[in-house]
A and B are shown apart, each in its own frame.
Chain A
């Protein structure tokens, strides 16, 4: 079946790097996604990676994909207080739907 797992909480100090991890089960997933949800708002796409890639970098964000272990990570460099939010990992499921993880709440302390 399709399932996505994430740790629930992460706390870092401002300026440090944050690494949010995710595991998924469907090895046929073609795209994997990271969404960000700020308080009181909907989910916003942060970045995505195609399954034939190992890494994707976009400014302070680095996505690493290990297909063998079905492990996806999101690294945020120089984390700022404005990065405090819930981060959702998602895999592309059957029929175009997305399978979301439970979300990781990132807390950035000044």
Chain B
């Protein structure tokens, strides 16, 4: 398996522009996570999906951020309009989560290589 694939690897844009980050999870995984990593705040969970449904978006910083998962093999994180303070590395991760309530599994998350976003 190719692992979690993110694109682009690097994105440089100007303030006010729309930015779309893309993620292809590992085939067969049913949970997908978007994280942001900065020096100041470390690794932050933005949103996660289970079976393509957003479960917890409490980490999304503001309305400028939106995420979608139209099918099991693709997700996007969009920032519109982008601001310099959005500059960070954005990671996508996927895992196989239990389908039954109460089931306990290792729940290992596999990370993509990240997208380094610079907003000028």
Contact = CB atoms under 8 A, between A and B. Distances in A.
A92 B107 CA distance: 8
Interface stretch (A13-21, A37-45, A66-74, A77-85): A37-45
> Majority SS of interface residues in chain A?
strand
A102 B93 CA distance: 18
B104 A30 contact: yes
A102 B37 CA distance: 10
Interface of B: 4, 31, 33, 42-43, 45, 48, 50, 55-56, 91, 93, 95, 97-98, 104, 106-114
Given A42-B111, A98-B45, A102-B42, 5 more contacts: A42-B91, A43-B111, A45-B110, A96-B31, A96-B48
Interface of A: 30-31, 33, 35, 41-45, 48, 88, 92, 95-98, 100, 102-103
